[in-house]
Amino acid sequence: MSFEYAPAPESRAITTIKPKYGHFIGGKFVAGSKHFPTINPATEEVLSQIALAGKTEVDAAVKAARKAYTSTWSKTSGKERGKYLFRIARILQERAREFAVLETLDNGKPIRESRDTDIPLAAAHFFYHAGWADKLEYAGLGSSPKPLGVAGQIIPWNFPLLMLAWKVAPALATGNTVVLKPAESTSLTALLFAEVCQQAELPAGVVNIVTGDGTTGALIVNHPGIDKIAFTGSTEVGKIIARSVAPTKKSVTLELGGKGANIVFEDAAIDETVEGIIDGIFFNQGHVCCAGSRLLLQENIAEEVLHKLKKRMEKIRVGDPMDKNTDVGAINSKEQLTKIVELAKVGDAEGGQRWSPACELPKKGYWFAPTIFTGVTSAHRIAREEIFGPVLSVLTFRTPQEAIEKANNTPFGLSAGVWGEKGSRTLWAAQQLRAGVIWTNSFNKFDPTSPFGGYKESGWGREGGRHGLAAYLKGVSGE
Ligand code: NDP
């Protein structure tokens, strides 16, 4: 028996979106000169006008961050810094619903995910790093670890507040000040976070937020007043940044793309594995750098897994992100939708067999049905390139060794998953996989205590955990 779901829309009344925003510099909101619209990708409604920072604004933000670093933050004890971080974490919890609604409106992700994953994890990152602020000398990173200075932080649109937390919390805990640029299409929660900084009475200039596009990001990267660059985004831009900072003394951490292998051995618990496959690729519309976008099935169970996977996919609810029953929301932008559509066409042309469940997509906004491609080989572009959408490429293997060879046959190395009952084999596989994060019998589980980052073209350095602290301290490597 199946039940129809009644609509369960979350109200947007809790959030107030201003018609126009400026930048947050030196503890105050300052007006921008040029603006561009930010839209709700589920409806194409213009939500607000976002300021585009140029050289003047970036200079002002770096100056404010330097002043705050020299005069205040570098002289503030770890215990005091920790208090501010705890305060920010508690305010994020208190205002969690407001943040979740705003994130969903601006990003298109389902409210269920922003409410249950993004915002609680963002608060958890501040709590975790608050705990470290007065214990840095016990982190095994030297007896008197010192901050780097001013950190320039550039974040993507897939987890806007969460990526802000991943960057701002460790920087502040270790005594650095920051200039952060959110992604062009998702600036609203970063601007609300600026209000949280004011509410927490964080000293002026410790956190500065400038909004804008890639040109603003490049101004931050190339600014001589910046000591460290922390970037999350595409491998393409990561390479540009690496080239720009190479002749300078700037420290850099890059968290880039991925093409995660999700390996299923013949002894895996199939029903649980199917849930893990769904989580691995359809969570956040597949806009996840560590998504399990390459499914590797042992040949003798492939038919059964695919049968169950398709049945499960028929139950995925795609639609209004503000509906609490929605599983898959809108694609974040028209550009991203175009990229997904084009790569899916390449999958067809290369001979992959495309399948999607019957689902009616909304007329307005940017949508792509959950999709799998079978008959894919390692040479296909959809097995090699990051699609960054709800598209799963399915490959098969016969022996564990073949699974590892196929899984590692990628320019990336961010994440992987292994499913199987036999512990010795899953642990063996985890050791062989060349990826920064490996889940066994689970996927897409995140925790601030656990370092996250990649090998090869997936980036440099780690974020989270003790290793993530190292990336903001002098003389210790981020790896
Ligand atoms: P980008 O890498 O272009 O964007 C990430 C951030 O960097 C944004 O804030 C962006 O600003 C900024 N930026 C862009 N160009 C520069 C530059 N030259 N110097 C400094 N900063 C810059 O990713 P996109 O949003 O364009 O997405 C493109 C593809 O990247 C996606 O299709 C996906 O495959 C991948 N991606 C991967 C992510 C990951 O976590 N691994 C996250 C996001 C995207 P702006 O928003 O204005 O462009």
pLDDT, tens digit (0-9, with 9 covering 90-100), for 268-277: 999 999 999 9
Is residue 96 packed enough to be buried (19+ CB in 10 Å), middle (13-18) or exposed (0-12)?
A: middle
Decide whether any atom of ligand 1 lies within 6 Å of the 386 Cβ.
yes
Identify the three-state secondary structure at position 312: helix
H or E element at residue 465: helix 465-470
pLDDT, tens digit (0-9, with 9 covering 90-100), for 348-389: 999 999 999 999 999 999 999 999 999 999 999 999 999 999
pLDDT of residue 479: 39
340-357 in b/e form (b: 16+ CB < 10 A) is beebbeebeebebeebbb
CA 202/CA 135 separation, integer angstroms: 20
pTM: 0.97
Annotated active-site residue in 255, 385, 386, 463:
255
Q: Cβ atoms within 10 A of the Cβ of 399, count?
A: 10
pLDDT of residue 478: 45
pLDDT, tens digit (0-9, with 9 covering 90-100), for 112-163: 999 999 999 999 999 999 999 999 999 999 989 999 999 999 999 999 999 9
Give the pairing type, strands 177-181 and 150-154. parallel
Cβ pair 167, 155 in contact under 8 A: yes
**Strand order of the sheet with strand 251-255?**
28-30, 23-25, 207-209, 177-181, 150-154, 228-232, 251-255, 459-460
Mean pLDDT of all residues in the chain? 97
Atom of ligand 1 nearest to the CA of 157: 43
Tokens of 90: 């508690």
Give the pairing type, strands 459-460 and 251-255. antiparallel
pLDDT of residue 475: 76
Higher pLDDT, 60 or 3: 60
CA 258/CA 430 separation, integer angstroms: 17
pLDDT of residue 477: 56
CA 121/CA 469 separation, integer angstroms: 17
Decide whether any atom of ligand 1 lies within 6 Å of the 230 Cβ.
no
Task: Give the residue-averaged pLDDT of 452-474.
Answer: 96
Decide whether any atom of ligand 1 lies within 6 Å of the 209 Cβ.
no
- Cα dihedral 381, 386, 388, 391 in deg (nearest 10): 40
Decide whether any atom of ligand 1 lies within 6 Å of the 217 Cβ.
yes
Q: Is 255 assigned a catalytic role?
A: yes
Decide whether any atom of ligand 1 lies within 6 Å of the 234 Cβ.
yes
Say how many Å lie between the CA of residue 154 and the centre of ligand 1.
9
Decide whether any atom of ligand 1 lies within 6 Å of the 242 Cβ.
no
In angstroms and rounded to an integer, the radius of gyration of the C-alpha atoms of the chain is 22
Atom 22 in ligand 1: residue holding the nearest Cα? 214
Q: Is 289 assigned a catalytic role?
A: yes
pLDDT of residue 334: 98
Atom of ligand 1 nearest to the CA of 213: 47
pLDDT at 105 over 70: yes
- Cα dihedral 322, 325, 328, 330 in deg (nearest 10): -20
Say how many Å lie between the CA of residue 211 and the centre of ligand 1.
14
Instruction: List the end-to-end C-alpha distance of the chain, in Å, as a whole number.
Output: 52
pLDDT, tens digit (0-9, with 9 covering 90-100), for 75-101: 999 999 999 999 999 999 999 999 999
Tell which one of 36, 52, 106, 154 to mutate to probe ligand 1, the residue whose CB is within 8 A of the most ligand atoms.
Answer: 154
Cβ pair 238, 441 in contact under 8 A: no
Could you write out the three-class secondary structure of 161-192? Answer: HHHHHHHHHHHHHCCCEEEEECCCCCCHHHHH
pLDDT at 3 over 90: no
Say how many Å lie between the CA of residue 138 and the centre of ligand 1.
35
CA 466/CA 289 separation, integer angstroms: 22
Residue with tokens 């919390």: 169
Task: Give the residue-averaged pLDDT of 7-20.
Answer: 97
What is the amino acid identity at position 301?
I
